A and B are shown apart, each in its own frame.
Chain A
Amino acid sequence: MAFFHSLQNSAFTDWFLGSDSIWTYPTVLTLHTIGMAILVGASFVINLRILQVAGAIPLQRLQPLYRFVWIGFAVNLLSGLVLFVTEAADRVIDPVFYVKLLSIVVALSFGIVVKRSAIGRADIQHVAPAGSRVLAAASLALWIVAIVSGRLMAYLKH
Chain B
Amino acid sequence: MTEFAAWVESTSLSKTLFGMSWLWPLCESLHFIGLCMLIGAAGLLDLRLMGMFRGLPIRHVKALMPWGIAGFIINATTGALFLTMQPHLYLSSGVWWSKVAFIVIAGANALFFETRLALPALAMDPDADTSPGMKLVGAFSLFSWFAVLYCGRMLPYLGTGN
Contact = CB atoms under 8 A, between A and B. Distances in A.
B64 A29 contact: no
Contacts of B146: 34, 37
B28 A151 contact: yes
B112 interface: no
A42 B157 contact: no
Contacts of A45: 40-41, 44, 64
Interface string B45-76: 00000001101110111011001000000000
A48 B38 CA distance: 13
Q: Is the interface of B mostly helix, strand, loop or mixed?
A: helix
Interface string A131-158: 0000000000001100110111011000
Contacts of A38: 39, 43
Nearest to A41: B40
B33 interface: yes
A54 interface: yes
A53 B64 contact: yes
B29 A54 contact: no
Interface stretch (A10-18, A57-65, A80-88, A105-113): A57-65
Contacts of B60: 54, 56-57
B56 A57 contact: yes
B154 interface: yes
A61 B56 contact: yes
A6 interface: no
A22 B158 CA distance: 8
Interface residues of B, number: 33
B61 A155 contact: no
A36 interface: yes
A40 interface: yes
A48 B153 contact: no
A26 interface: yes
B37 interface: yes
A150 to B, nearest CB: 8
A33 B41 CA distance: 17
Contact of A37 (B36, B53, B157, B158): B36
A117 interface: no
Nearest to B152: A33
Contact of A44 (B28, B37, B57, B154): B37
Given A58-B55, A65-B44, A151-B28, 14 more contacts: A22-B158, A26-B154, A26-B156, A33-B149, A34-B146, A34-B150, A37-B35, A37-B40, A40-B36, A41-B43, A44-B40, A56-B59, A57-B56, A154-B25
